[in-house]
Structure 1
Amino acid sequence: MVKQLAFSGMLSNKPQFNPDFYNWNKVKVRYCDGASFTGDIEAVDPATNLHFRGARVFNAVIEDLLAKGMKNAEYAVLSGCSAGGLTAILHCDNFRALVPSSTKVKCFADAGYFINGKDVSGVSHIEAFYNDVVNTHGSAKFLPAGCTSKMKPGLCFFPQNMAPTIQTPIFIINAAYDSWQIKNILAPGVADPHGTWHNCKLDITKCSSTQLQTMQGFRLEFLNALNGLGTSPSKGFFINGCYAHCQTEMQETWLRADSPILDGKTIAKAVGDWFYDRSPFQKIDCPYPCDKTCHNRIFDPQENPSPTTYGTRSNDFERIKNFNRNILTVIFLHVALS
């Protein structure tokens, strides 16, 4: 486990790198439960001694922060990246309810808008996986009743299905070609046992014209799923046409001279303007490869072995679980200065 973590990008304490939030108090919460802090199973797994109680952990963390001074906060934000971004979406209203009503609360979700999409074999393996997660962790009771009353609880783990129930202002930051979703939802190893997509997933410039066409279809599927947010100015979004995953905690993509730009704004500027009600922001970028400001991810092949080594569904999704266990969710807040 990493003992030291960098606070950069949205978490930076330097005004030149983070002008709107540099003087806030920031807390990183280690992601520990594998279900975006929604688990609550009373029984302990006798085989593994695992406690599926992420929802209790979330509430305990917030209670501890309130006791440490967050109860006096002028502003508070729940934010996260990847599985932490999903946490920010799933817990946004819960966070609002736990914090004093006098505090201005909003949520930011970076790379957490995972969609229920079909993979290259025509099957939605992610739907089956999310259903297993919800069942394993007993997450259903922490998902919005407005969603679970209409569909299976596993489907309500997807933001596109539960986003319409969110009352608290929330801002979505996501790449339309989210590299994690391309690798694990569109072209997971179980759907690509011969590794046809391997090089493409490592570097988007290595994709064939056919693969790019498939990715353009995935982008449209993602944008359609984004409609669940609605058009209220209390819901903001910055959807760039990049091959990336998590852009708010890296300085080069949050705010730098060469950071990604959408409608003339960096992510930092768009988020800051929206949070402080200077201007709304709901923008979607043009399709790849038109945006030349993108910082497209290139993955190390040594850290991403050929999918022929994990060709079965169980192994493939064990890889997803391991990935998610390493993600942090982020809470940061600002206590009013006297």
Structure 2
Amino acid sequence: MGVGENAILSGISAGGLATILHCDGFRARLPDVGRVKCLSDGGFFFRGENVLNADYREKYFASVITLHNISSLLPVTCTERIDPSLCFFPENLVRDIQTPIFILDSAFDAYQVRLRLVPPLSDDRIRWDLCLGNISTCTSTDKQLITDFGGAFLKAVREISNNPTIGMFIHACLIHTVLIDGRFWTPNSTIKLGNLSIQEAFANWYFDREPVRLITTANFLEICTKKKML
């Protein structure tokens, strides 16, 4: 590792969040490697202060911090500014990371939209699950909640997009991660922004060919398949 030229720390879902949390630590362990960068896929877990049930999402993450007793291990640059319970949310973390990091996610991340917008024990849970199984069954209220979440998510990533160390590919597909999905992590993927596949965009960013900050303009989630995007 000490004589390597390139290194990538990456992870998906919870591992994507861990990648964000440990990106600078990874860089510090490889001081002699020329190019060290991080890739977080589906790890931009979002509180969304102005989106319904933000307190539920905060309590969920706070319970993880308490269970593992890790508040003292969270980045000091964050915990000195705000409560540690908010320092598991990348919207509060990413701007403080010094190592180049690529944020790959959906503004309508399937895990977050399915399981974190509406609490599991909510009276609306059955209807919500039916809605996300078949979008045509969603009520206008359901669709507005999804739209509000996506809009707030996009606002948050745009606020950090001017950081020169950050690369981005933020799409609108109702999926959670793509790195280990053979349908999407290919040059022929139907998920494209700026006429670039996710793989092509990341390679351009990683090898410093060009800055990559690709953010969807869709205002509602998309159902993405191998053959086409509906």
Query: Which amino acid in structure 2 is aligned with residue 280 of structure 1?
Result: P
1:60-209 alignment, distance < 5 Å: 70-117=1-48, 122-193=53-124, 195-209=126-140
Aligned-pair RMSD on alpha carbons? 2.3
Q: Distance in 1 between matches of 2:95 and 2:52?
A: 30
Which range is displaced more, 167-176 or 208-217? Answer: 208-217
Query: 1:167/1:192 Cα in 2 relative to 1: closer, same or farther (>3 Å)?
Result: farther
Distance 1:120-1:183 versus aligned 2 partners, 3 A rule = farther
Residue matched to 2:225: 295
Cα displacement (A) at 1:140? 1.7
* Match 2:190 to one of 244, 259, 279: 259
User: Residue 13 of structure 2 aligns to which amino acid in structure 1?
Assistant: S
In the aligned structure 2, how far is the partner of 1:290 from the partner of 1:195? 20
SS of 1:77 mapped into structure 2: strand
Aligned-partner SS, 2:164:
coil
Query: Conserved in 2, the CA contact under 8 Å of 1:80 and 1:88?
Result: yes
Q: By how many angstroms is 1:206 displaced?
A: 4.0
Check the 8 A contact 2:187/2:198 in 1, yes or no: no
- 1: CA distance between counterparts of 2:102 and 2:204? 11
Whether 1:214 aligns to 2:136 is no
Where in structure 2 are there 5+ consecutive unaligned residues? none
Q: Is the 8 A contact 2:3 2:32 kept in 1?
A: no
Q: Give, in whole Å, the separation in 2 of the partners of 1:266 and 1:187.
A: 31
| Identity within the alignment, % | 36
Equivalenced residues, count: 226
Question: Equivalent residue for 1:243?
Answer: 174
Aligned mate of 1:273, from 193, 204, 223: 204
Instruction: Identify if the C-alpha distance between structure 1 residues 194 and 81 changes in structure 2 by more than 3 Å, giving closer, same or farther.
Output: closer
- State the Cα deviation string for residues 67-93 of structure 1 (Å, max 9, x = none): xxx222211101011101101111100
CA distance in 1, matches of 2:43, 2:65: 17
5+ unaligned residues in a row in structure 1: which ranges?
1-69, 297-338
Moved more, 213-222 or 225-234: 225-234
The one-letter amino acid of 1:137's match is H
